[in-house]
């Protein structure tokens, strides 16, 4: 059994790490490199950085923080937000990131996934999907930082993204984002049953039990969280010990 990865998520706006609920009520947390080094030193398996306003503002990812982070940490990290061309992939990877995450731009131009996968390898291409449950009980893909409903079925888009060459999926439930009431097990289970690439759960962590529940019930490969780590509500080493005692394979 592969070890489940514990992944702090750092949303970046104007060069600072911030956090909100359902993409609203944004508050300042810390410098990306300072928080990144803290997690690297405290047994996180990977980090994810999102420039959360890049797509909506129609600009590229703010690259200044990427190199600063790469200089400070010794674990893999991915960067997303405003990535829309192969040149963006190249710039981010050259600054020291291990993976590049695409979201809104991949919906608008699905061939970006294929082209990036062919050029840099599937392992470098992460498809991030923000999903919101619709009245009909299905999940729809939301883009531009939670601002635009595309009408696309999120499960179908996940499958398509993998077919195009995405080597990993990050599935974020907007309904659960920042609410600390648990991950969207139904959504994640539907996706893990249909794809053969790593799936990372995002949105909803509030206590250690939520990490166990999503690892056990949805068979995800990694579990991403933000505020419970940023504000010291859950210690990563304590979380890993808890999960190991519950029979979940993790890297201690």
Mean pLDDT throughout 37-58? 87
Which residue stretches of the chain are H helix?
32-41, 64-72, 86-94, 104-108, 111-120, 154-164, 185-192, 208-218, 227-230, 236-245
Closest by CA to 139, choosing from 148, 147, 125, 151, is 151
Among residues 11, 51, 91, 177, which one is catalytic? Answer: 11
Residue 71 annotated to the active site: no
Mean pLDDT throughout 150-166? 98
Q: What is the pLDDT of residues 176-226, one digit of tens each?
A: 887 899 999 999 999 999 999 999 999 999 999 999 999 999 999 999 999
Residue 130 annotated to the active site: yes
Q: Hey, what CATH class is 5-245 in?
A: alpha beta
Among residues 45, 88, 130, 177, which one is catalytic? Answer: 130
Closest by CA to 208, choosing from 230, 178, 236, is 236
Q: What is the pLDDT of residues 55-76, one digit of tens each?
A: 667 766 667 889 999 999 999 9
The reported pTM is 0.93
């Amino acid at each position: 059994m592969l070890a489940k990865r514990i992944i702090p998520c750092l949303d970046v706006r104007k060069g600072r790490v911030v956090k909100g609920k359902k993409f609203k009520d944004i508050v300042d947390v810390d410098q990306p490199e300072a928080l990144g080094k803290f997690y690297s030193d405290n047994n996180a398996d990977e980090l994810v950085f999102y420039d959360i306003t890049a797509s909506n503002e129609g600009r590229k990812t703010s690259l200044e923080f990427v190199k600063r982070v790469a200089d400070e940490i010794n674990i893999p990290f991915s960067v997303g937000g405003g990535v829309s061309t192969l040149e963006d992939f190249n710039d981010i990877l050259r600054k020291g990131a291990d993976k590049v995450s695409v979201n809104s731009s991949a919906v608008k131009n699905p061939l970006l996934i294929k082209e990036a996968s062919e050029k840099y390898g599937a392992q470098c291409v992460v498809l991030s999907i923000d999903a919101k449950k619709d009245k009909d009980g299905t999940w729809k893909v939301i883009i531009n930082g939670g601002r635009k409903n595309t009408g696309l079925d999120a499960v179908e888009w996940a499958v398509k993204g993998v077919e195009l060459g995405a080597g990993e999926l990050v599935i974020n439930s907007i309904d659960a984002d920042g609410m600390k009431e648990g991950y969207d097990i139904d959504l994640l289970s539907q996706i893990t049953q249909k794809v053969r690439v790593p799936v990372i759960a995002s949105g909803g962590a509030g206590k250690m039990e939520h990490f166990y529940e999503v690892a056990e019930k949805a068979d995800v490969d990694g579990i991403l969280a933000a505020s419970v780590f940023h504000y010291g509500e859950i210690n990563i080493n304590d979380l890993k010990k808890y999960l190991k005692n519950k029979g979940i394979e993790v890297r201690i």
